[in-house]
Amino acid sequence: MNADQWLHAFGAELHRRRVATEDVRHVVAEAATHLRDGGGDPWTVFGTPDRYAAAIAESVGTRPAPRPGPVRLHAEGITKRYGRRTVLHDAGLTVRAGQIAAIVGANGCGKSTFLRICAGVESPDGGQVTVSGRLGYCPQQGGTDDFLLPDEHFVLVGAGRGMGRATARRAGRVAARQLGWESDQAVLARRLSGGTRQKLNLTLSTLTEPDVLLLDEPYQGFDRGTYVNFWDQLLRLRDEGRAIVVVTHLLNQLDRVDLVLDLTPATPGGRP
């Protein structure tokens, strides 16, 4: 584990201990500066990430655990077949306001399919999904238009919620900036890099302030700084009372989430 990995583990521990997001950012930045200026091995300087995080949490204090909110997403008995292959069998998930659920599992086990069904863009062969409130969905691919500018995307999506053009543009730019992206350039979406396009996609899914946010590996192509911001944003949205479902392959993030749905089939080789 190098210094970067130590800092990452330290940040994750602080989040897990419910230190306020602002404090986490501040304390991790201070530790990074200290290591950069003074040199030395973080284990010698600070000790293990969990011990140091425990000491910091005690000194700066932690946020109270949120009270369970109302159920925002309830999926039960979800079954999906493609041809003769059963991809999902009796899958279910209940997420309340103020919770983050992670969907994990092997490649091809049906994570994106489950999320698409929750988003209502695909029908299940069995089971049902109930969503309470406004829905935001960030698909793994697509979701943006090649021939529109970022601002035009904001206006288009904002209009669906009755936002005026200027308000939508402003809200989009603020949300994009939180991911470290200045989105006010006149660049068509098809000219954006893959990671920046994914930032646009993610920004659009949060623009209408959804009660339920469905994210399908939204951080693909993000650089490390953006990735850290992404998790900070997610925790902030959770603390605002959103119900969030995120498909992820990054099992080292699971200590930050409240629920985990593992869709890996119980039998090797998949479902009948």
Give the residues lining the site for ligand ATP (CB under 6 A). 82, 87, 105, 107-113
Whole-angstrom distance, CA of residue 61 vs CA of residue 272: 51
Question: Helix crossing, 49-60 with 21-38: angle to 10°?
Answer: 130
The smaller minimum CB distance to ligand ATP, of residues 24 and 87, is found at 87
Nearest CB to ligand ATP, comparing residues 201 and 229: 201
Q: How far apart are CB 80 and ligand ATP at their closest, in Å?
A: 8
CB of 237 to ligand ATP, least distance (A): 22
Q: Taking the complex as a whole, how short is the minimal distance between the CB of residue 226 and ligand ATP, in angstroms? A: 20
Q: Phi and psi dihedrals of 65, rounded to 5?
A: -65, 135
* Identity of the residue, 142 or 162, whose beta carbon is nearer to ligand ATP in the bound complex: 142
Nearer to ligand ATP among residue 111 and residue 199 (C-beta): 111
* Helix (H) and strand (E) counts in the chain: 9, 8
Q: How far is the CB of 147 from ligand ATP (least distance, A)?
A: 26
Residue 212 CB, nearest distance to ligand ATP (Å)?
Answer: 19
First and final C-alpha spacing in the chain: 41
Beta strands 212-216 and 243-247 are parallel
Residue by residue, DSSP assigns 222-252 as --HHHHHHHHHHHHHHHHTT-EEEEE-S-GG
Q: Which amino acid is at 101?
A: A
Least distance (Å) from ligand ATP to the CB of residue 252? 17
Strand order in the sheet with 212-216: 135-138, 212-216, 243-247, 99-104, 259-262
C-alpha span between 148 and 146 (Å, rounded): 6
User: Which residue, 216 or 232, has its beta carbon nearer to ligand ATP?
Assistant: 216
CA-wise closest residue to 116 among 217, 47, 195 = 217
Q: In whole angstroms, how close is the CB of 37 to ligand ATP at the nearest point? A: 41
* CA 109 – CA 86 distance, rounded (Å): 10
Q: Which is nearer to ligand ATP, 116 or 153 (CB)?
A: 116
Q: Which is nearer to ligand ATP, 112 or 206 (CB)?
A: 112
Rounded CA separation 259/245 (Å): 9
Residue closer to ligand ATP (CB basis): 57 or 87: 87
Closest distance of CB 139 from ligand ATP, Å:
11
Q: The tokens of 231 are what?
A: 């998790």
